[in-house]
Amino acid sequence: MAGGWSSDRDVVARVKAAVDIVDVVGQYLTLRRVGRDFLGLCPFHEERTPSFHVSREKQLFYCFGCHAGGDVIRFVELKEGLSFREALEELAGRAGLELPPVVPGDARRAARQEAVYAALEAAAAFFVDKLWSPEGEEARAYLKARGLEEETLRRFRVGFAPRSWDALVAALGSRGHGPEVLGRAGLVRRTARGRAYSLLRGRVTFPVCDERGRVVAFGGRALPGGEGPKYLNSPESEVFRKRAVWYGLHLAREAIRRAGRAVVVEGYLDCVAAHQAGFPETVASLGTALAEEQARLLARFTGEAFVAYDADAAGQAATLRGFARLREAGLNVRLVSLPEGRDPDECLRADGPEAFRQALQSALPLVEYLFQTATRELDLASVEGKAEAVRRIAPALLGERDPVRRDYYVQRYAHVLGVSDDAVRTAVNDAARQAPGEAATGHKPSDYRHNRSDFPPGRGNTLAQRRIAPEERKLDMAEEVVLTHLVHGGAEERRAVWSRATPDWFRPGPARELAEALAAAEGAPGGGPPAGLGPEAQALFARLSLEEAQGPLDRRALEDCLAVMAAHRVRRRYRERLREVRALEAARRPVPREWLVELNELLREMRTIGASQGVTR
């Protein structure tokens, strides 16, 4: 093991120092020099005019089209679909560096896992050989009847597990993969007398791979008339966690990036058939109960998920929770309507690819689907039916993060139900207070910030609502100007900021995260983003670093922006304290005198700010 690694930051710094971001990016796309930087077509979205910038001087990349950005590790994460640690290992390998184990024992654990991966890879090759041998004739006939072509089957490495109880054990044992490692790989079980036998027998096999293409498990589909359940899957193991894997993702990830969406189906055959029919952006979820880890993994590659489950599955409560997890991960979820009782594979065979393409184009946004299902059995002509419909749809609206879409749906459903917008918004606020983390949405009340929860419903609410958007835009600009001074300015500019403000002046999110990191690093970013930044904060740093300077830094503009942020801080504190006071009053509990004193002081300060800036609360 290489020595001299003193800390995690030292590991990251040495790996980044050993590679050049221009050389790494240049292995994936053509770059041309433009001034001091390099320019090319973005590998993360479709474009005809180059907007992807790479800086050798700053060791950063940023796309001004899709807003992906960061350092060389982040680039490899995005391009290869890897975790941070995996990307670090990939770059270390290119540079000839050997990383230390993350914790003591990791080297031994890694060696054990490599043995499991090797056994699973050998099993995949064994099953493929058997499919195309005389033993696989029945399986080949079954797959042909399902409309699957040889090229497709070979691409997905579909195979056949012989009916023999010990054929796999004998074949892999002769290649050095003993029963112990086959058991850890989930390939074999043992009889009461300790004899190892194959878990999958007489079945079509589908190797399940992680996003890097490593086989981690198998699914087995029984042939017609076969024994046991229709599908039999590998148990979880040291390399396989069902909740963290998508079937077909290693083959689909580039197509997902190009298409700007993922088509999500449930089963192996659905996924294979969709790829063959011209939808290579398709992945399968290995069941309807989607997990949070699966959602986060898919969100690495796209912002949209078109879910094409059969009609029965789409009505299950566990499935709806899975859709909410996709949305919570930041994905815009749409539900594809299929004929009742049919899955995507059956639809493709019966109606052809064009019908499936039309179904995708007609997919309903998740909130629209939830509205339709929630109100299907209600009498919307009655007052009781309207009230119940508003109550049912409120959690779904609460989970809609985009404020424009949320406002659109509030107005749309208010119109459809014949009620006021405020009635729907009040119901959403009630849902935020009464059912945080509602299963139908998977979101917290904080996701509804900036819209209504800062203001009680009532006559003055409309005016307050109209003030929110301009205030947010003004704050966005102010925070960006201040961060620009921190990123581009020298010691004097940084002192001018930190003598007046602290990182908590920034709103929670990427801007505050970056401000905290810059403050901790004394505002000196060096050759790249401060250590430990999340993806959004790292992209923000990259953009600010690579944007063309619009003339010299303006100290007057900095002072004005700090004043805007200070004003917002006062107003935010006033609203928070006012809500606390009202909560005590509603509960008929005494309000501490110091709270009232603070409210008066904050009110006076806001009036002073309003007089100087022309801003009212």
Ranges of each domain in the chain: 8-95, 112-239, 244-362, 370-458, 464-613
Length of the chain: 617
What's the pLDDT at 462? 38
Q: How many angstroms separate the Cα of 85 from the Cα of each of 74, 82, 101, 442, 518?
A: 11, 8, 11, 28, 23
70-85 tens-digit pLDDT = 999 999 988 887 778 8
Separation CA 161–CA 286 (nearest Å) = 20
173-190 tens-digit pLDDT = 999 999 899 999 999 988
pLDDT at 466 over 70: no
pLDDT at 386 over 80: yes
Contact 517, 600 (CB under 8 A): no
Return the CATH class of domain 244-362. Answer: alpha beta
- Comparing 188-197, 262-271, 516-525, the range with the smallest average pLDDT is 516-525
Domain range 112-239, CATH architecture:
Alpha-Beta Complex (3.90)
What share of the chain in percent tops pLDDT 90? Answer: 32
What's the pLDDT at 104? 53
**The overall pTM is greater than 0.75:** no
* CB count in 10 Å sphere of residue 242: 19
Residue 210, helix vs strand vs coil: coil
SS (H, E, C) 464-518: HHHHHHHHHHHHHHHHHHHHHHHHHCCHHHHHHHHCCCCHHHCCCCHHHHHHHHH
Region 33-57: what's the mean pLDDT?
A: 90
For the chain, what is the mean pLDDT? Answer: 82
Task: List beta partners, residue 231.
Answer: 221
CATH for 8-95 is 3.90.580.10
